[in-house]
Amino acid sequence: MGDILVRGGTVVTAEGRRRADVLCSGERIAAVGEGLPRPAGAEAIDAGGCFVLPGGVDPHTHLQLPTMGTVVADDFLSGTAAAAAGGTTTILDFAGPDRGEAPLEALARWQGWATRAAVDYGLHMTVSWWGERFAREMEPLVRERGVTSFKFFTAYKGRMMLPDEDLIAGFARCRELGALPQVHAENGDLIEYLQRKLVAEGVTGPRGHPLSRPPALESEATLRCITIAEVVDVPLYVVHVSAGDAAQAIARARRRGQRVVGETLPNFLFIDASVYDGPDFDFAAGHVMSPPYRPREHQAVLWQALTEGGLSTTGTDHCCFTREQKRAGQDDFLRIPNGCGGVEQRMEALWHLGVSSGRITPERFVALTSTNAARAFHLWPRKGSLQVGADADLAVLDPERTRVLSARTQHQRTDFSVWEGLEVRGAVVHTLARGRHVWKDGDLRAEPGAGQFLARQPFGPVYQGVLG
């Protein structure tokens, strides 16, 4: 792999910005400074007028996931290629054991699929059931296999939902091992109650989805998990925060000094619950994900938490389906596969909504799209930084370039986009992934298998580095 000199851009990190060149030598950043000489044979990228950012770290994707009787549309190759086209160079996906299946077996299956990834990836483990064997296998996962974060569910009753006593035992096991518990927080018992009620009333369409998952159910479960984590004395990572009260609960816990890291999605900052109201099934079903899109007033609370530090990361929960796949729930909203895409649009959408609109600084953008996730999941400074010696993962973003986001032009393997028609100001024109020039102004050069598995270290007893 040759050298690449990124010249004349404004280099932005979570701490500040400066005019500098970045020299990538092989897979690493070799120098950052003004007027760097171009080594013989080095490729030069002109970043004049552009921002040079750490490559995005998307801490929440679901590629190749079998779920709800189907398999998500993006596999590890198409999903990571799409990520690269949008400036994201690291993803963290979830290995998910079937009920009763050994976590190590699930990990082997996911690692088999992920060998085709085009950018680097790590894996969290979904705690899809709980028992003595699961608890035992967490040790080799954390100590030998580089899987140091575990996602618990308080929702999806009858599938992945765990009762409080299992959450307590699981969080405590994470603490013993120096692993980070994550939580999908919605009250699954109340969701089931509301689902039954709505079905009995004859509600069959997508509108039943948000009606059965109101914001209070997310806030309750979020606070419950924060409380469990506080008592067990373990940090907590809350995925896909969509409800304002849930964001405020996290912000309050952080102000008290509790180590809680909250993730939201750019989608939740822009799209509201009205998407479920219209007569177009494909459009409404295309937005069915859990938690659902919320009434517009929640967005201001999420923005406040993002700007003030109550929320720390942005992921996508990238979980793509085609329109045809979503039609499995044409007559029954409970059968609409849950999930939306976005790994390709996260960086441009957040830049447009956040930076171009003046809500957040480029530095905060970097914190929210790479640095904080890299810190929370123990990948920093290899990922999420532009330090000498870090992986040569970077995105060159032209703040004046506009692009219309659309399913017709995206690389995600679906015919639907929740961002359809949005014209963003600020576009990723180059992406380097561990020193490879994978996105060159519209030319996607993703290579199957070029991505490496990121084996992560346990945090140790004091969880240094879990900052966000």
**Does residue number 316 form part of the binding site for ligand URP (CB under 6 A)?**
no
Nearer to ligand URP, 269 or 438 (CB): 269
Closest CA to 454 of 367, 391, 365: 391
Amino acid identity of 211? L
Binds 341: which of Zn ion, ligand URP, none (CB < 5-8 Å by kind): none
Min dist. Cβ of residue 339 to ligand URP (A): 4
Window 23-62: residues binding ligand URP (CB under 6 A): 62
Min dist. Cβ of residue 97 to ligand URP (A): 15
10 Å Cβ neighbour count for 48? 10
Min dist. Cβ of residue 67 to ligand URP (A): 7
Nearer to ligand URP, 62 or 352 (CB): 62
Contact 339, 278 (CB under 8 A): no
Nearer to ligand URP, 116 or 124 (CB): 124
Window 177-196: residues binding ligand URP (CB under 6 A): 184
Contact 91, 123 (CB under 8 A): no
Min dist. Cβ of residue 248 to ligand URP (A): 21
Binds 182: which of Zn ion, ligand URP, none (CB < 5-8 Å by kind): none
**Does residue number 317 form part of the binding site for ligand URP (CB under 6 A)?**
yes
Closest CA to 369 of 389, 391, 392, 352: 352
Residue number of the CB atom closest to Zn ion: 184
**Dihedral sign computed on CA atoms, order 397, 399, 400, 401:** positive
CB-count exposure of residue 312 (10 Å: 0-12, 13-18, 19+): buried
Min dist. Cβ of residue 317 to ligand URP (A): 5
Question: Alpha helix (H) ranges present in 287-438?
Answer: 297-308, 323-326, 346-350, 362-366, 372-376
Nearer to ligand URP, 324 or 443 (CB): 324
The contact set with Zn ion (CB under 5 A) reads 184, 317
Min dist. Cβ of residue 19 to Zn ion (A): 39
Binding mask 434-453 for ligand URP (x = CB under 6 A): --------------------
Nearer to Zn ion, 181 or 426 (CB): 181
Exposure string (b/e) for 209-222, b if CB count within 10 Å is 16 or more?
Answer: bbbbbbbebbbbbb
Nearer to ligand URP, 175 or 209 (CB): 209
**Does residue number 242 form part of the binding site for ligand URP (CB under 6 A)?**
no
Show the tokens assigned to 400.
């004046």
- Using CB under 6 A as the binding criterion, the count of chain residues that bind ligand URP stands at 8
**Does residue number 338 form part of the binding site for ligand URP (CB under 6 A)?**
yes
Nearer to ligand URP, 13 or 290 (CB): 290
**Does residue number 339 form part of the binding site for ligand URP (CB under 6 A)?**
yes
Binds 364: which of ligand URP, Zn ion, none (CB < 5-8 Å by kind): none
Radius of gyration of the chain (CA): 21
* Residue 226: half-sphere exposure toward Cβ, Cα within 13 Å: 26
Helices 215-232 and 164-177 cross at an angle (nearest 10°) of 50
285: enclosing H helix or E strand: helix 281-286
Distance CA 318, CA 40 (A): 41
Q: Apex CA 384: angle with CA 11 and CA 109, to 5°?
A: 145
Min dist. Cβ of residue 346 to ligand URP (A): 15
Rounded to 5 degrees, φ, ψ at 191 are -60, -45
Show the tokens assigned to 58.
């998307």
Binds 289: which of ligand URP, Zn ion, none (CB < 5-8 Å by kind): ligand URP
Nearer to ligand URP, 298 or 436 (CB): 298
Which residues here bind ligand URP, judged by CB under 6 A?
62, 184, 289-290, 317, 319, 338-339
